[in-house]
Structure 1
Amino acid sequence: MKIRDLSILVGVIGIVLMMVVPIPKGLLDILLVINISIAVMILLIAMNTQDALNFSIFPTLLLITTIFRLALNISTTRLILSEGKAGHVVQTFGEFVAGGQIAVGFVVFLILVVVQFIVITKGSERVAEVGARFTLDAMPGKQMSIDADLNAGIINEQQAKERREKIGKEADFYGAMDGASKFVKGDAVASIIIVFINLIAGFIVGMAVHGMDIKQALSTYSILTIGDGLVSQIPALLISTAAGIIVTRAASEGNLAHDLTKQLLRYPNLLYIVAGTVALLGIATPIPFMTTMPYAAILAIAGYRLQANINRAKEEEDLLVEEKQIEEVRSPESVISLLQVDPIEFEFGYGLIPLADTQQGGDLLDRIIMIRRQCALEMGLIVPVIRIRDNIQLKPNEYIIKMKGNMVARGELLLHHYLAMSPGFDDDSISGIETQEPAFGLPALWIDEAMKERAEMSGYTVVDPPSVVATHLTEVIKKYAHELIGRQETKALVDSVKETYPALVDELIPSYMSIGDVQKVLAKLLKEKISIRDLVTIFETLADYGKFTKDPDVLTEYVRQSLSRQITQQYANPSEPLKVITVSPSVEKKIAESVQQSDQGSYLAMDPVSSQTIYQKLTEQVNRQIQSGLQPIILTSPTIRMYLRQLLERSLQDIPVISYSELEPSIEVQSVGVVNA
């Protein structure tokens, strides 16, 4: 056993023996001084401890010092009653406090006992009890938080283990403090009882045994009682204060002195108000002017110095930040961040800042959240985060939409106006600024608030600027959705399906197709505005046909046929026949004969004259349907559908081309035009 461990054991046993073995007055003086020094040391450690767990031995130390203090009380009581003396320390404390006036000294001592018992001890006990209760109640939530961080990858196993250990130690510490505070309370009660025993019993023993008269006995034993109580209560008061400091400190960034100076002096300007209040007391009240003014001047000077220090520290911090930014720009690695391109960007002129500023009532951010939800529900696409920023190079009311750093759309808005779109006939009484609706290119007017109600009564569609932006952004996302889904986004979709359909994904990837192959099929579906939300059906089809072909065009056709119910509901109204433009057998034959096969797949190789003729005939039929107010839909056979889509890719890409296999048998089809060539 080490000497250190042996000395602790001997010390604890010695404390117990002190209660029954008489101690010489000289040794008792030394032990009383040691008791006071230990109490001072504990208080200083408590004040400089940042975390309660750094002083985790405190509950045990509290118990040991309490027993030590009680043993000293018993020893001093034995000497007081047996010899009428208790050493120089007790005598000195008693005479110093009494100061020749026993009654005054005794009252001061009683006040000290009341403060120790009622204020410090009771308060520390209550705080320790509440701290233990809240710590134990918070343990399940802290454990769940650690598990969540571990599952999210924020922390590793070792960090999670360390956090759990810390939570367990905190619970043990505050539980032990709750129990140890009861010892402090009991010690305070015992000290009060011992005081009365020393006073009453000493008074009787002094007259009966030592032959003192009443005055001498009262004087002697009062001084000894006060001295004994002080050398016991002062260390108890210090240790109780240390206990209160330990259990009341939370969310600390430093020791007690650091926290006090930082938090109390955080607002230097308030010191001027305090200084003015103190000076006013010296002027408007009988308090001497020379008593308040020096203190007020000190407070005012302190406030000025603190404010100057804060300003200097802020300037130094700003300078450091600026120097750091300059160093980052100069470093070779700084250009790497410039290579990153945001998938979607929305930039606007300074005049449209109120749209995005929530303090000015702008709700653009909330609308973008709804756009992402809408795209997920309608298209099955997880739209990446949309970067929003102002651009001083744009016109004040102008905005642009970028895809991967390139502008794909632009528009202009007039705040405090409304966009009114004609129902098909113009009302001359509706006046405004002529413009074009940005999402669909329809002619429209910017009208003011006074004209809004009249326009609505005339059948105009009236929308506010935020709705115009939201609609335009939604249509742009739908138009370029196939560019937003890459391999990483496809991998995320595959992983989400794998959570519920692991067998399907394991069969498809990588046995028959890679992530890149799946991505090509999904992109082709999105390009023709076919939702990919039903990923299970899409993956089932790819698993069925992926073993026979790797051509993404062919696989896309198989997937479209599997999604026939979805495509039918997308274009058809159950209560009305589906009006379509059909292609004559001769045109289908000509297209089929123009298909060429290659190692990369099949493609349409039609001569320019024939392709131009077919294109013109299709354009005539499409325009006729648009003029009739119908949605143009081209219906053809499954074998040539994708080749006809390729023929219309550049100019008529928004016109849906579907095949007979993509329609449900129950749907009624009505041909409203035939393409002949």
Structure 2
Amino acid sequence: MELKFQIILIKEKNGTLLMNQNNKILNTLENILGNTKYKILAGPIIIFLILSMMILPLPPFILDLLFAFNISFSIIILLISMFTKKTLDFIVFPTILLFSTLLRLALNVASARIILLNGHHGNSSAGKIIDAFGNFLVGGNFAVGIIIFSMLVIINFMVITKGAVRIAEVGARFILDGMPGKQMAIDADLNSGIIGEKEAKKRRREVSQESDFYGSMDGASKFVRGDAVAGILIMIINLIGGLLIGVIQHDMDLSIAGKTYTVLTIGDGLVAQIPALIISTAAGVIVTRVSTNQDVGEQIVNQLFNNSKATFLSAFIIGMLGIIPGMPNIVFLFFSSLLFFITWTIYNKSNNEELNENISKNLNNNNFKLNEKNYKEATWNDVHQEDVLGLEVGYKLISMVDDSQNNGELIKRIRGIRKQFAREMGFLPPVVHIRDNLEISPIHYCIFLNGVEIGFGDVHPEKLMAINPGNIKIKINGNYCNEPAFGLSAVWIEKINKEQAITIGYTVVDSSTVIATHIHSMLIKYAGDIFGRQEAQNLLEHTRKITPKLIDGLIPEILSLTTFHKVLQNLLLEKISIRDIRSIIECLAENSPQQTDVESLTSLVRQKLGRAITQNLFPKKVYKNEINVIGLDPSSEKILITSFQSGGSIEPNISNNLIENIKTALIKQEKIKSPFVLIVNPVIRSMMSKFLKHFFPNLTILSNLEIIDDRPIKFTSIISCNAVKNNN
């Protein structure tokens, strides 16, 4: 018993050692095959084999191995192309097509050499595979062999290869033409936040790879076509050369030489053409497939046998043929029965799917609890923030924002507008996210602020807009309209009429300039709404980098970021630039310890910026030294102060008279070409601005403390709650 037990242990130990040894060998082979440094040798090895076959005479056994490898290699390629779900999953196919063609041609050269050298020894002199294809497959009848070979060449050359080449050419053209649209779709998804930067890079890489693949297939498919022609020529050369060598050099009888070399040549041709036919089929499968989540086999079965009506009619027609006397009734009736069975299966499947769909709808309508494993819960990833600034364009305007079609002229102008706005207003606005919208008019565009439309217009990208400055009476041919940014009279003209319009005095601009100018005017108008807490933080950090001592100890120690943001926002809401951030922060530093009210701090900052406000409204180059403004009657001013301080509203009669009198004063300001500026008491400036903003958006309300002292002030009109007093 002990001896037997020891023997069992020894056997188990030896078995374990043998298993471990086999595992080590398998792991070693796996590491070698999976290692990148060994994979890079595949290309040079194939090239070396091809050169060796063309230069060195090969023995029949090696030739059999290479022929078997060629057939196996072609079958592998066909099956991979069948099971590939997306074209880009087999992107190396054009290169494989080149190597497989070179391999077949090299085999043709090697087999031709051995046939011409050793063909007089008999059919097996060129190897077992050539002998098998020449005798077994065609029964040793060289006439049948020639016909079969010719049929294979015609099928490969005239049908499969020609069709694959044409599809590759058309596919390459359409893929290249569709690239700009795909790039626009990717950019639109990125700008709207649907995808991230990583996903966008992946999609752009796939678009580039797809265009490269079809471009390569357009050329690589010519290899297969040339291979078919080369097969015909090699066959003719082998036949003629074999007959001459057999008869002249080896003194063979003409009939024996003809039969021997013909069978060998046909076997060689068949052994080469069958892999060529398989590779051509793989090329056709690759270029004809549509990328889905299914391979070719699944697509064929699911789409060919998916319509019960079609299969039922087919079964009925074949069944009618099966009952005609003289027809092979059994065969037709068999296929008719098979199609009836398929029809019954499809019909039951569609009924079950419809029943399940109805049950699901009823469950949803009755608010039954659904299985959480089958339905994903909503997450925060499903929540997308609105873009601060957005631009939607119709499909005819896509070329204006596409770098490949129109050099992205509108994108360049928008970038310039952001820079100009930053220099004018003192902060960097958010990026304008552009997307196309097929639901709007092709020539329409919309400007959005936080998802709300704030401006829109129509532009004609193939035309130019001629803007009338206001003093031109000469008409010009075109479509009359209003310039969207400032409402000026304009006309859309053809590009050939540009010089004529400029000569008359029109200001001529292109479509991208029209949209860009409109965006700029909206940025200025809604600067206060654009300037959010994030922009305030960014401005503060930028200022801290340039002048760190200016902010140290102020924000947030004395002045909160919220108050700082609100003061700057109040300035921007009345179109006052915050470019002089140093003066603003100095004023806040001086007054914030004693004053916490935002409106009071805003008023003090406005007084600090009085010189800049005055020069911005009344540039000395235009208005020289005198300032023409509208004033407020002292008695009316007292009434308004009392109304605002008491917290009550202005009486309707007083407000109506005030609005009518301001309208009259503004007409006079327009006649003398002076800015619309009303001077009031500092106590009521803020309340008057909020009250009159809705009636007169272009009216600027200033306090008398905001006008610098070194420039004389002239009141062109004195506003009263009762009447307008002209100051002559």
How far did 1:194 drift? 1.6
How far did 1:582 drift? 5.5
What is the distance in 1 between the residues matched to 2:446 and 2:51?
A: 74
What is the distance in 1 between the residues matched to 2:42 and 2:694?
A: 91
How far did 1:36 drift? 1.4
Matches within 5 A, 1:2-401: 13-77=48-112, 78-79=114-115, 81-85=119-123, 86-98=126-138, 103-128=143-168, 177=217, 180-205=220-245, 218-249=258-289, 251-262=291-302, 268-269=306-307, 271-273=308-310, 275-276=312-313, 279-280=316-317, 283=320, 290=332, 293-294=336-337, 296-308=339-351, 310-311=353-354, 382=449, 385=452
Rate the CA distance shift 1:536–1:371 in 2: closer, same or farther, 3 A.
farther
How far did 1:115 drift? 1.7
Partner of 1:546: 588
Rate the CA distance shift 1:586–1:215 in 2: closer, same or farther, 3 A.
closer
Partner of 1:423: none
For the pair 1:517 / 2:563, whether they are aligned, the reply is: yes
Structure 1 residues 476-503: Cα deviation after superposition (integer angstroms, max 9, x where no partner)? xxxxx99x989x9623665899999999
For the pair 1:671 / 2:720, whether they are aligned, the reply is: yes
Write the letter of the residue equivalent to 1:293.
S
How far did 1:186 drift? 3.3
What is the distance in 2 between the residues matched to 1:108 and 1:337?
A: 62
Contact 1:29 1:87 in 2 (8 A): yes
Partner of 1:622: 654
Contact 1:553 1:642 in 2 (8 A): no
Structure 1 residues 363-389: Cα deviation after superposition (integer angstroms, max 9, x where no partner)? xx989xx9996xx8xxxxx46559xxx
How far did 1:540 drift? 8.9
For the pair 1:638 / 2:670, whether they are aligned, the reply is: no
What is the distance in 1 between the residues matched to 2:127 and 2:284?
A: 32
TM-score, normalising length: structure 2: 0.51
Comparing 137-146 with 102-111, greater Cα deviation is found at 137-146
Write the letter of the residue equivalent to 1:191.
G
Contact 1:275 1:295 in 2 (8 A): no
How far did 1:232 drift? 0.8
Please state whether the residue corresponding to 2:720 is helix, strand or coil: strand
How far did 1:110 drift? 0.8
Write the letter of the residue equivalent to 2:312.
A
Contact 1:29 1:89 in 2 (8 A): yes
Rate the CA distance shift 1:141–1:644 in 2: closer, same or farther, 3 A.
closer
Please state whether the residue corresponding to 2:115 is helix, strand or coil: helix
Rate the CA distance shift 1:152–1:334 in 2: closer, same or farther, 3 A.
closer
Contact 2:319 2:336 in 1 (8 A): yes
Rate the CA distance shift 1:284–1:247 in 2: closer, same or farther, 3 A.
closer
What is the distance in 1 between the residues matched to 2:659 and 2:198?
A: 70
What is the distance in 1 between the residues matched to 2:183 and 2:638?
A: 73
Rate the CA distance shift 1:315–1:199 in 2: closer, same or farther, 3 A.
farther
Rate the CA distance shift 1:507–1:166 in 2: closer, same or farther, 3 A.
farther
Tell me the matched-pair count: 507
How far did 1:29 drift? 3.6
Contact 1:521 1:555 in 2 (8 A): yes
Please state whether the residue corresponding to 1:668 is helix, strand or coil: strand
Partner of 1:405: none
Please state whether the residue corresponding to 2:532 is helix, strand or coil: helix
How far did 1:40 drift? 0.8
What is the distance in 2 between the residues matched to 1:45 and 1:666?
A: 88
Comparing 637-646 with 546-555, greater Cα deviation is found at 637-646
RMSD (CA atoms): 6.3
Please state whether the residue corresponding to 1:669 is helix, strand or coil: strand
Write the letter of the residue equivalent to 2:115.
L
Comparing 230-239 with 502-511, greater Cα deviation is found at 502-511
Write the letter of the residue equivalent to 2:274.
I
How far did 1:121 drift? 3.0
Please state whether the residue corresponding to 1:73 is helix, strand or coil: helix
**Paired-residue identity, %:** 34
TM-score, normalising length: structure 1: 0.54
Write the letter of the residue equivalent to 1:546.
L
* Counterpart selection for 1:491 from 511, 533, 537: 533
What is the distance in 1 between the residues matched to 2:445 and 2:99?
A: 67
Gaps of 5+ in 1: 344-364, 377-381, 387-480, 569-576, 592-602, 605-610
Comparing 143-152 with 213-222, greater Cα deviation is found at 143-152
Comparing 319-328 with 125-134, greater Cα deviation is found at 319-328
Rate the CA distance shift 1:246–1:92 in 2: closer, same or farther, 3 A.
same
Structure 1 residues 505-549: Cα deviation after superposition (integer angstroms, max 9, x where no partner)? 999989676552255447778xxxx95455558979845743443
